[in-house]
Amino acid sequence: MTSALVALLEDQTDEAARVRQQLLRRLSQTERDHLAFLWEFQARKEQLPPPGDWRVWMIMAGRGFGKTRAGAEWVRMIAASDPNARIAIVGASLAEARAVMVEGESGLLHVCLAGEAPLYQPSLHRLTFPGGAQAQLFSAAEPEALRGPQHSHAWCDEVGKWPLAHERATRCWDNLLLGLRLGEDPRIVVTTTPRAVPLVRRLVGQAGVSDEVVITRGTTEDNAANLPARFLAAITSEFAGSPLARQEIGGELIDDIEGALWTRAMLEAAREHGEVPEPLRVVVAVDPPAGSGGDECGIIVAALGADGIARVLADCSISDAPPAAWAKAVAEAAQAWQADRVVAEANQGGAMVESVLRAADHALPVKLVHAARGKLARAEPVAALYAAGRVRHVGMFARLEDQLCGLITGGGYAGPGRSPDRADALVWALSELLLGRRQLPSVRPL
């Protein structure tokens, strides 16, 4: 590509846009089809490699920004320009590296023209490009696999969700850096949603003091022209008004509150996807609103697996609902998840709570619990269960997790909202599953 054409593609003025449209009209259909694979023409400026002698380029942006496409296109450009390139492709797991980074809609196999696509050998976790460059897939869950292999380049995807147990994420990164010693200009591209985990914080800190780490930031809205309107409406509805919206949509790295019982890193470490073990017990926990309307009713579904792990399955909380409405929501959650018990806080009028729930479904197996201690005191042992690895979140629960991160050691709640109703319901659910008294067998005297 000539320097004049590159300058025209990068020029964002109205005149440059007019010239580009004129050029498009002169192209044949075949040439236009090829143009779809010309990344310099299709990409937004922030999706193209920044200038400078950087060693790490981290694209830290919201969902749907186009991070994966940018990473795949960078790998394609490296492979096309350097036949000796040896590129590490590192995902949170081998399955994700294959499904997203290689075979996904924005993956390596889909950003290349038919005659330029790499030969993919799934059994070897390897791609070989027509010019001779090779890319090898690695899992961040197996950091020792990167001890030994040498590379000239690397693409690391979603480092914010790399496994945290036993410091796997940082060990994987360190082993990758130690093996990045081929070629004259070794570089790494990182594409990730911002999450307050040690590795992301480390890279952000390095960017503040060194030109070797460059960060490109962006939001979901930056790529709105290429995203379905329904998707944009759905994520806005789900996350709007929450700090997690700033992270997942706005691409902002959310700092933890000093002294918080739960941290973002703790919740990311508890994240679980895919199939889960069959539950031994399922409970629906309810933190009823104090008044007849206007407050939120926390409704959390959790299960205890045969592996001894408690899993948060759903957040069915409801706002601004009268007793009949939130009781119906509880009954529907219990039926949908086949709960064997409904645990409800009874401090705000136990008889009323039970009668309202039974009016919604007379067969509900209701257990009333009384709060002898404050919310924070009840929450501390549950937070300890997270630290011990005994709780998982099956998916992401934005509003619930924001409330958990607002609970502070020693008392106090920093928001969002005036009361952590969802978090309180979660505490009741996990206390029932993991902290309840166990009935031990005994021998009665004759």
pTM comes to: 0.69
Distances from the Cα of 63 to the Cαs of 48, 103, 235, 239, 252, in angstroms?
18, 19, 9, 12, 11
Q: What tens digit of pLDDT does each residue of 227-248 get?
A: 888 888 887 777 776 777 888 8
DSSP code, position 55: S
Q: Which residue has the tokens 């206007």?
A: 294
Which amino acid is located at 209 in the chain? V
Question: 308: helix, coil or strand?
Answer: coil
- Asked if the model's pLDDT at residue 174 lies above 80, the reply is yes
Helix, strand, coil: what percent of the chain each, to 5? 40, 20, 40
Query: What is the fold, at CATH topology level, of the domain defined by 264-435?
Result: Nucleotidyltransferase; domain 5 (3.30.420)
Q: In 355-370, which positions are buried (b, 16+ CB within 10 angstroms) versus exposed (e)? A: ebbeebbeebebbbbe
Domain boundaries, the chain: 36-237, 264-435
Distance CA 135, CA 120 (A): 9
Question: 204: helix, coil or strand?
Answer: helix
Confidence of residue 87 (pLDDT cuts 50, 70, 90): very high
Q: What angle is formed at CA 323 by the lines to CA 320 and CA 329, rounded to 5 degrees?
A: 80
Confidence of residue 164 (pLDDT cuts 50, 70, 90): confident
Q: What tens digit of pLDDT does each residue of 19-77 get?
A: 766 776 776 666 655 665 677 777 888 999 999 999 999 999 998 899 999 999 999 99
Rg (CA), the chain: 26
Q: Yes or no: say if 312 and 397 are a contact pair by the CB < 8 Å rule.
A: yes
Distance CA 267, CA 249 (A): 18
Query: What is the fold, at CATH topology level, of the domain defined by 36-237?
Result: Rossmann fold (3.40.50)
Q: What tens digit of pLDDT does each residue of 99-123 get?
A: 999 999 999 999 988 788 999 999 9
Q: Yes or no: say if 188 and 57 are a contact pair by the CB < 8 Å rule.
A: yes
